[in-house]
Amino acid sequence: MVSNKSKHRTILMCSNEAAQKHIYKGMKLSEAKAVLNNLIEREYNPNLYSQIQNQLLSTFINCSPKIANHELGVFLLDASGLTYLGGEEKFCQHAKQVAFQAGFKHINIAIADTFFAALTASKLKNKEPNLISHQQDKAFLAPLPIQHLPLSFDIQESLQHLGIKTIGQFANLSKEELQERFGKHIILTHELANGIDKRYLCLPIFNKEFKCIVDIGSAIQLLNEAQFVIKAMLDRLAKSLKEQRLLANELQIVFYNDNDQFNKRPIKLLRPTNNSKFLLEIIKLSLAAQPLTREFTQVEISISQYSEEEWQQSKIDKQNSESPKEFDSNVLLIQKFMTRLGENALSYPIACDQYIPEHKAKWQPVIAKSNSNVLPINTTYSNEYVPTHTNTNNVVSGLALRKLTPPTPVFIEIQGSTIKRLLYNKQWYIVKELTIPERLSGLWWNQQIKKSYYMALLENNTLALLVHDHVNKCWQLEGFFD
């Protein structure tokens, strides 16, 4: 493999056959051809090697669930817990078999307690596989030359002038002296020499891409003319999702006129799914609400957000398990509203454990994730420790406050000590019933409040939250209960 980045073309890597003919990494191509006149050269393709590296990474998952992509051609696998699985030798045989099936005949394997010791052992040709006993990493590394350590050429040369030629000699040096002479960065290398490597493995993250692009070949404006193409694309995407036990949370459809992208629309789903028929209906709804303004010749559909399949049914699924068609139609109806009116068009109330009545509920968009600002109600405390006669919430039990933003000032008419009427939106309303006020004060650290709260039943049988603000000396309507 030859690199063109340098002025003189050099060898980046070579086969075992070439190495036996004294071809080595870093050698000038002209020199290599002088040594071996029938040498076959290939240009270095970083994209190709990166692709093969990722393929190997996903292949080695069959050997160990924890794996790290260390560098080109080098992988670090977790080989712990092998006592009842045939031991380390069987693990090595399995890894070799996996690599051979992937088309790689030559593989070097080593097992040790630390990454560095295993990596170093895999480069030694005297034993294959090289299995280092438990807690023997330092002893294994000690006789090896310091060239195996991640040290610059200048530092290696300085150490050799001091008579330090092996890793064991380097490990016995004082940390303080090394840091004073070479800097803080050398402490990590000193730990490696002593068999200490704090790096750890984790589950690898693979970038999954679910995308289909189709060039229709002719200009089309109506969806009906390309519906069979879009359905085939969704069937393929849905199949890929099902194979990996995933659900689509959001899909994206892009329309092109030749190479000109003129319409791109992300579509959030009310319910995660990998049902291609349902996804097709959602796209139809989106295009019916916002028709295309131009003809298109190319369509691209991708799953922009996805999640893992749930093994347990949700409460909604259980309630509708006897009539899935009816449930799908309800979900589709809600999706239709959101497609036409916007994602936040449909909301539902959530009870919130707040001190101030007007903050005791939040409106949550149907398609949004749970609101982090909502404090759950402590129902045990409410049921056991709050007396029924003092719990004014019983008046509006099961109702949600439709807040007026901002609260609307009102005039009130008082006869004696009783509120008889109030003026709201240029109209007088008779107050038929009024609760005993709940008086609250506090929040001095934010904005001082001192209010009296009334549940007022108006003449049109509307239940309102009427508030007397003692700080601002005014009456106002906070909202209506629905």
CA–CA gap between residue 260 and residue 178 (Å, rounded): 61
Query: For each of the chain's 482 residues, which pLDDT tens digit applies?
Result: 556 554 567 887 777 778 778 887 778 888 888 888 888 888 777 777 777 777 777 677 667 767 777 777 788 887 777 766 678 888 888 888 888 877 777 788 888 888 888 888 888 866 666 788 888 999 999 999 998 898 888 888 889 888 999 999 999 999 888 888 888 889 999 999 999 887 766 555 556 778 888 887 778 877 777 888 888 889 989 998 888 888 998 899 999 988 889 999 888 887 788 888 888 888 888 888 888 888 888 899 999 888 887 644 444 444 444 444 444 666 667 777 776 666 666 676 677 766 677 766 677 776 665 555 666 666 555 555 444 444 445 566 667 777 887 888 999 898 888 889 999 888 899 999 888 888 888 766 667 788 898 988 998 888 988 999 888 889 999 888 87
What's the pLDDT score for residue 385? 47
* 353 part of a folded domain: yes
DSSP letter assigned to residue 135: T
Among residues 341, 362, 385, which one ends one of the domains? 341
What would the DSSP string read from start to end of 431-473?
Answer: EEEEPPPEEEEE-TTTS-EEEEEEEEEETTS-EEEEEEETTTT
What's the pLDDT score for residue 292? 87
What would the DSSP string read from start to end of 14-30?
Answer: --HHHHHTT--TT-BHH
What's the pLDDT score for residue 207? 61
Among residues 296, 323, 341, which one ends one of the domains? 341
Residue 6: which CATH number? 3.40.1170
Question: Whole-model pTM?
Answer: 0.41
* 92 part of a folded domain: no
392 and 414, same structural domain? no
* 139 part of a folded domain: no
* 145 part of a folded domain: no
Domain count, the chain: 4
337 and 215, same structural domain? yes
Torsion angles phi and psi, residue 208, rounded to 5: -85, 135
290 and 360, same structural domain? no
319 and 273, same structural domain? yes
Among residues 10, 29, 44, which one ends one of the domains? 44
Burial readout 38-61 (b: 16 or more C-beta within 10 A, e: otherwise): ebeeeeeeeeeeeebeeebeebbe
CA–CA gap between residue 29 and residue 322 (Å, rounded): 73
What's the pLDDT score for residue 168? 93
* 197 part of a folded domain: no
What's the pLDDT score for residue 22? 80
Residue 316: which CATH number? 3.30.1490.100
407 and 307, same structural domain? no
CA–CA gap between residue 87 and residue 91 (Å, rounded): 7
216 and 336, same structural domain? yes
CA–CA gap between residue 23 and residue 27 (Å, rounded): 7
* 324 part of a folded domain: yes
**Max CA separation in the chain (angstroms):** 115
* 428 part of a folded domain: yes
* 418 part of a folded domain: yes
What's the pLDDT score for residue 360? 67
What's the pLDDT score for residue 353? 66
363 and 321, same structural domain? no
Q: Is 140 helix (H, G, I), strand (E, B) or coil?
A: helix
Q: Is 199 helix (H, G, I), strand (E, B) or coil?
A: coil
What's the pLDDT score for residue 128? 63
Omega cis (within 30) before 407: no
Write down the residue that tokens 């590296």 correspond to. 53
335 and 222, same structural domain? yes
**Domain housing 21:** 2-44
CA–CA gap between residue 317 and residue 272 (Å, rounded): 12
Burial readout 278-301 (b: 16 or more C-beta within 10 A, e: otherwise): bbbbbbbbbbeeeebeeebbbbbb
Query: How many CB atoms are located within 10 Å of the residue 458 CB?
Result: 18
368 and 252, same structural domain? no
417 and 361, same structural domain? no
277 and 242, same structural domain? yes
414 and 450, same structural domain? yes
> 431 forms bridges with which residues in the sheet?
458
